[in-house]
Every structure is written in C-alpha cells, then in structure tokens.
Amino acid sequence: MRRIDAVFARHKKPAFIGFTVAGDPDKETSIRAAMALIKGGTDILELGIPFSDPVADGPTIQKADERSLASGTTVDTVFDIVREIRKRSEVPIVFLVYFNMVCHRGIDRFYREAHEAGVDGILVADMPVEEADEVYKAALRNYIDPIFLITQTTSDTRIKKIAAKSRGYLYLVAVLGVTGVRDRVSSGALDLLKRVRKYTGVPLALGFGISTPDHAKTCAAAGADGVIVGSAIVDIISRNPQNPDVMERDLEAYVSEMKKAL
C-alpha cells in the first residue's frame, strides 16, 4: 500500500496535512521545520517548491517563496531536502509545484527524480485536468499520486473528470481566492465537500484559510478526510528565522493542538 493511502486507511479521524515552503528561510532551517511538523504529528507533509510567480498563493506564502529563492533554493535543493527527511521519517511527502518548473526540467525526469528522492504525490497548482495527460501518465509511471485541486466554482462535469484522475487525495479549496488565514470556514467549503463526495471515494482534504482548532473541528464534523494548513505554519516559521529552537517548539505545539481538535 502506498504511503498516502496507508494514512487514510488507518485513520478514523481526519488527517493533518502540513504545508511549508521548501528552503524557507534556508535549507537547514527548512529541514528542521519539516521535522518539527512531523514530530508534532503531521500525517502528510506538503512541500511547496518556491516559484517567482505563485499565483495561487497569498502574501504569506509568496514571501516564503521569496525568502527561499533568496537563499539560493533550486529544484535540486528541494530534492536534497526530501532525501534528508527520508533518512529520518516515512511520513508521506507531497510536492506543490507550478508547471513551469516541471516543464523546464522535463516532465518525466522531474517525476522520476521526485520518486527516487522519496516523494509520494505531486499537485501542479496551475495544471487544469484537461491539459494534464502527459503529467498524469508520468506520475503513474513513476509511482507518484497525481493530486488535483477542486474549487467552489468547479462544475459537476469537471469534478467528475478531476476525480477520475485523482489518487491519494483531492485538494478542495475552502475559499474563493488565494491562500491565507481566514476567520472561519465558509459554508461554501462545506457544501463543496458534499458535492464532491457524490462522485468519488478518494479522500477529500480541505485547504486554504484553515488555521485554528475551531476550523479543524468544523471540517471534521462536516466529513473531511483531511485538513491542509499552510499560511499559519509559514507564519510561525517567519517569526523565528534566527531562533530555530523556538520555531521547532512552536511548530510542534501548533500541530499537536490542531491534531487534538481533529
């Protein structure tokens, strides 16, 4: 059984999926942050590959991308980070990447190297399902779960198409807009869960704007199989760039609190 499938198979409660930008604020601190998330109880680790134009992300993650790129992070650096994490943990690792970076490296090469490093799933944030055939085939050839986004404006027809190609889990966008902390989980997000559930048995994870234990409880009560947290984690990292010990402590505590809420 693949690592991501095993997470959802063994969990009776929703999985906690923690996101951080690889290389933020530098390679070594990024590895420490990832391990703190895992130690705190993160079930699946999402690593964003830093990009100069992350159109799906709000200011918090955009700034993390800028810090990572300024420190010299490349795709090779990110693969190195994954290999280092793999020496210490078997937690599933998912990339969130933009297609420009996959295309530049070569689609099959990117997926092959990701698999060899220890990556379990890849979400190409700006890749519509209608244009995903080559990427989808490369993912399957290299034993990587292709993960797709579904938003509140996605039609039922497109939901069926996306669900048919999805493995691992589906990433349901809980807000209209970009990533970033929000005050509450919208009713639209909960309606989206119900809509998508009709068409697939693939696990459904809600992300974008989820940051508090109350948010986690709301998602769990609505039937989400997972919750994805990014900006709140990146905020913790950004507050302690010169004090990684404090950063690690705060990340562990935050994940633990969110896990209890689930």
Can you give the pLDDT of all 262 residues of the chain as single tens digits? 899 999 999 878 899 999 999 999 999 999 999 999 999 999 999 999 999 887 767 788 999 999 999 999 999 999 999 999 999 999 999 999 999 999 999 999 999 999 999 999 999 999 999 999 999 999 999 999 999 999 989 999 999 999 999 999 999 997 654 444 444 555 677 889 999 999 999 999 998 878 899 988 988 888 899 999 999 999 999 998 789 999 999 999 999 999 999 8
Residue-number span of the structural domain to which 129 is assigned: 3-255
Task: Identify whether 260 is part of a domain.
Answer: no
Collect all residues with Cβ–Cβ distance below 8 Å to 6 and sequence separation of at least 6: 92
Q: Quote the CA–CA distance of 99 and 149 in Å, as a whole number.
A: 14
Report the CATH number that the domain containing residue 57 is assigned in CATH: 3.20.20.70
Residues assigned a catalytic role: 46, 57
For residue 59, the model assigns a pLDDT of: 86
Shortest CA distance to 131 belongs to which of 154, 162, 170, 96?
162
Task: Identify whether 246 is part of a domain.
Answer: yes
Task: Identify whether 94 is part of a domain.
Answer: yes
Phi-psi region of 233 (alpha: psi -120 to 50; beta: other; left: phi over 0): alpha
For residue 184, the model assigns a pLDDT of: 54
Q: By the 8 A CB rule, do 201 and 150 touch?
A: no
Task: Identify whether 261 is part of a domain.
Answer: no
Task: Identify whether 262 is part of a domain.
Answer: no
Predicted TM-score (pTM) of the model is 0.94
Number of domains in the chain: 1
Task: Identify whether 176 is part of a domain.
Answer: yes
For residue 185, the model assigns a pLDDT of: 57
Task: Identify whether 7 is part of a domain.
Answer: yes
Task: Identify whether 71 is part of a domain.
Answer: yes
SS (H, E, C) the chain: CCHHHHHHHHCCCCEEEEEEECCCCCHHHHHHHHHHHHHHCCCEEEEECCCCCCCCCCHHHHHHHHHHHHCCCCHHHHHHHHHHHHCCCCCCEEEEECHHHHHHHCHHHHHHHHHHHCCCEEEECCCCHHHCHHHHHHHHHCCCEEECEECCCCCHHHHHHHHHHCCCCEEEECCCCCCCCCCCCCHHHHHHHHHHHCCCCCCEEEECCCCCHHHHHHHHHHCCCEEEECHHHHHHHHHCCCCHHHHHHHHHHHHHHHHHHC
